[in-house]
Structure 1
C-alpha cells in the first residue's frame, strides 16, 4: 500500500472518510469490478497507514518517494514475493484457527461428563427422582461391566458392600458408609453416591490437559486384573463375583476383556469418552502451537518488508562495486601471450606444446601454439 503511493491510497477516502466499495465505485466508476472482493482488506491497510503516523512509517514513505524507478520496481517485486508467501501462511493459519475453534471447553467437558454420568450434561439417572427403576443401586450391574459403564456406576460397585457378608476392602478400607445394597432403592442410591463422591477427588474441580487424561486412563488400565480372559477392576480375591460379599469381593467384571491376545480396555464406555476428550484437546494444543509458529512467520515477513527500502537503496552501489572490481581484476591479469624465449639446450618442440595462451578477450584457454 505504501509503495503504491498517495494517488492509489486516495481511492479509499473522501476527505479522510473511509469509503466502502459502493461509495468508491460512485467516486470512480472506472474501478475494476474484480477489486470488490479484496476492497475491505485494502481499505483496512490504507486506514492503518493513515492513522499510524509513527517515525518508521514516515521514514519509509520518504525513502520510497525518493526512489529511482528501477529501485521502486525492485521493491515491488520483493513485496510481491512476501505477500505471496504471507497469503499461503495466512491460509494455513485459518486451518489451525478452525481446529482451535472446533474444540471448546464446553465440548471437552461434555465428553468428560459422559464418562462420569453417561450423558453430556447433568447427572442423568444419578439425580434425585431419576432412579425409579432402582437400576443403579443393584449389585447385578457389577459383574456385567457396571452395566451403564459410567465412572460413578463403577464407583458404586467398588465401594458398596453386601448387607450380610460385607466386604470391607477396596476404597472402603479406611472409610465407612452408612448404606449397603439392601438400602439402595430410589433416591437412597443417589444419597449413597453423594457420600462416596465425598471420599474421592472425582467430585473436585481441576484443570486437566490431554496428557493428564491419558496418564490417568493408563493408570486405571494397570489396575485391571485378568482372570480367565475376564478383566476385573477392584478387589478380586480368589473367587471374584463382584457382589460386595466378603468371598466374592467388590469389583467390576468385564467379560471377554482379552481376546486374541489383545485387551478391550478402549471399548469400555467410560474409557472411550475421556479418550475422545483427550484427542480433541491434543488436536487443539497442536493447532495452537502451529498457529503461534505461523504467526511468528507473518511477523518475520512484516519485519522483512520494512527493510526492503534499505535493501534496494544499495542496488546501485553494489552493481558499481562489482563492475569496478571486475575491471580491476582484469587489468591485473598476467599476460600469457608472450612466448618465453627458449634457453640453450631446451627441447623447443616439447616447450611449444606446453605453452598455452589466453585470447585477447580473456574468454578462455586455447591450445598449443
Structure 2
C-alpha cells in the first residue's frame, strides 16, 4: 500500500514539474501544416487552360443572318456593284447616326466572307442565299434574334489579362520553391543555411523568429519550420515536431550557434516529397487557412507554435514558435505577415481567376454552339414551312379550277342549264361537253404563272392576301418590308 502511494506521488510530482514546459509533440500540428507548403514545391501546379472563343460557331450564326437578310441590306456593305469591296466603316457606307458603329466590324467581317464564298456552291452563304423569298423571310425572322443574342454572349467573353496569361507551370513552380525554401529552383537536397531566412542566421532566435525586416527572418516555410521545430542548445525538449526534426540542438537566444545546412535539409525531408502531385489553387488556399487556424494569442501578440512566456527563444520554458506582434488587436497581422504566405496567396488568387475565366469561356462556347445549331435549324424549318405554303397554294388553285369546271358540267345540256355568268353554251361541241368555261375569261394572276378566271384571280388574290397577313402575324419580323435589324 505504501509503495503504491509512493508511485502515485512521484507521478503527480512529475506532472507538476512538466506542466509549464513544452514537451514532445507540442508542435506536431504546426509541423504538418507547414510541411504542406514544403512538399508542394515537389509537385506540379495545374494551370487552367482557357479555351479561345468558338469563332466558327459565332461566324456561322452571322453568316446565316447576313445571307437571309434582304438584298438591299446586303448591298449596303459593299462599295461596288459586284459586291467584292466592303465599306470599312458605317460612315463610308453613309449609314452614320443609325447606331451601327458597334456592330459594323462583325457585319463587315461577314460581308467579306460572303464575297469570298459566293462562288462556293456548298458554303452556308450560297445555300442560304439560294432559298426563295418566303423561306428567307421566315428564317431571318428567327435568325436575327439568335444573332443578336450571340453578339451579346460574345461580349461576355474576355481574354486573360497579361499578368494572368504570363503564368505558366514553370513560373508557378518557381513561386512554390521560393515559398518553401526561400529561393527559386531549390529542393530539400540543395537548400543552403542562409536561404530559408533570406540571409545568414544571426544566432538570435527570439529576433529571427518574427516576421518583418530586415532579414534574417522566416521568409520561407522551411524557415518557419526551423523556428517551431529545431531543438535549442539548452532546455531543449526533443521531438517537439518529430524526432527527425530536432536538428543539431545549437540554436537559442544569444546562444551563438545557428542551424546548419544539414539541419535545414533534414528538416525539409521530414515533410516528405510532393513529387507527381497536382497542385491547384484550392490546395494552396486550404493550406493557408489551416496554418492560420493554428495561431493563438497571449492577449497581446500571436504565436504559431508552443509558447509559455517571454518569447520564441527555443527554450522549453519560454517558446518554440514564431511571434506575430499585435495579433490580438488586429488579426490581419497573422500569417499574412509572413512574406512567403503573401506570395502563395497571390499565386492562388491568380490561379483562381484563370479557372473562373476557363469556366466562363467554356460556358460561352457551349451557348454559342447551341445558338449555331438553332440558326441552322431555323434554315431547315423555314424551307419546310415555305414548301408547305407552296403546296397549300397549289391545292387551293387546283380546287378553284375544279369548282369552276363543275359549274359547267356536262349535265348542263341546254342553254338554259348552262350558267351564263361563268360558262358559254356551244351547240357544235363534239366532245360531249357543250357547256364550257367562257373563252377569254381566263387570265394569269400576277407572279403565279397560272391561268385562272377573273373571278378566280380576285378570289386567289384575296386568299393570298389573307394568307400573307397570317404569315406576317405568325412570324413577327416577316411583316417588315425592310429588315432593319441585322445583328
Shorter-chain TM range is 0.5 to 0.7
The answer to whether the Cα contact below 8 Å between 1:100 and 1:287 also exists between their aligned partners in 2 is: no
Aligned residue number for residue 262 of structure 2: 191
Higher relative contact order (CA 8 A, sep 6+): 2
Shift in Å, 1:300: 0.4
Shift in Å, 1:155: 1.2
Which protein shows a greater Rg?
2
- What TM-score do you get using the length of structure 2 for normalisation? 0.49
2:298 to 224, 227, 236: 227
Aligned residue number for residue 266 of structure 1: 336
Aligned residue number for residue 153 of structure 1: 223
Deviates more, 1:266-275 or 1:212-221: 266-275
Per-residue CA deviation, residues 307-338 of structure 1 (Å, 9 max, x unaligned), is 122222354547999xxxxxxxxxxxxxxxxx
Aligned residue number for residue 105 of structure 1: 169
Q: Which has the higher helix share?
A: 1
Does the C-alpha gap of structure 1 residues 314 and 106 become closer, same or farther in structure 2, counting only changes over 3 Å? Answer: same
User: Can you give the 5+ residue segments of structure 2 that lack an aligned partner in the other structure?
Assistant: 1-62, 72-78, 90-103, 393-487
Per-residue CA deviation, residues 91-126 of structure 1 (Å, 9 max, x unaligned), is 32234687963554345445434433455x345995
Does the C-alpha gap of structure 1 residues 45 and 4 become closer, same or farther in structure 2, counting only changes over 3 Å? Answer: closer
Query: What is the 5 A alignment of 1:76-225?
Result: 76-95=140-159, 101=165, 103-118=167-182, 121-122=184-185, 127=192, 134-135=200-201, 138-145=204-211, 147-173=217-243, 175-178=245-248, 180-181=250-251, 189-201=260-272, 204=275, 206-225=277-296
Distance 1:287 1:99 in 2: 14
Does the C-alpha gap of structure 1 residues 97 and 260 become closer, same or farther in structure 2, counting only changes over 3 Å? Answer: closer
Distance 1:171 1:251 in 2: 11
Aligned residue number for residue 353 of structure 2: 283
Distance 2:161 2:334 in 1: 35
Per-residue CA deviation, residues 20-71 of structure 1 (Å, 9 max, x unaligned), is xxxxx99x79613418966777667888999997xxx79x966763x32132
Per-residue CA deviation, residues 247-289 of structure 1 (Å, 9 max, x unaligned), is 2232111111121677634333233222212211221121111
Aligned residue number for residue 8 of structure 2: none
Distance 1:164 1:71 in 2: 94
Distance 1:287 1:229 in 2: 42
Give 3-state SS (helix, strand or coil) of 1:171's partner.
coil
Shift in Å, 1:158: 1.5
Shift in Å, 1:76: 3.6
Provide the alpha-carbon RMSD of the alignment: 4.5
Shift in Å, 1:305: 1.6
Give 3-state SS (helix, strand or coil) of 1:250's partner.
strand
Give 3-state SS (helix, strand or coil) of 1:166's partner.
coil
- What TM-score do you get using the length of structure 1 for normalisation? 0.62
Aligned residue number for residue 325 of structure 2: 255
The answer to whether the Cα contact below 8 Å between 1:142 and 1:154 also exists between their aligned partners in 2 is: no
Does the C-alpha gap of structure 1 residues 265 and 196 become closer, same or farther in structure 2, counting only changes over 3 Å? Answer: closer
Residue correspondences, number: 295
Does the C-alpha gap of structure 1 residues 179 and 114 become closer, same or farther in structure 2, counting only changes over 3 Å? Answer: same
Shift in Å, 1:184: 5.7
2:137 to 52, 73, 87: 73
Aligned residue number for residue 31 of structure 1: 85
Shift in Å, 1:183: 8.3
Aligned residue number for residue 239 of structure 1: 309
Shift in Å, 1:293: 0.8
Does the C-alpha gap of structure 1 residues 114 and 261 become closer, same or farther in structure 2, counting only changes over 3 Å? Answer: closer
Aligned residue number for residue 300 of structure 1: 370
Distance 2:331 2:224 in 1: 25
Distance 2:173 2:115 in 1: 44
Does the C-alpha gap of structure 1 residues 261 and 196 become closer, same or farther in structure 2, counting only changes over 3 Å? Answer: closer
Distance 1:34 1:45 in 2: 15
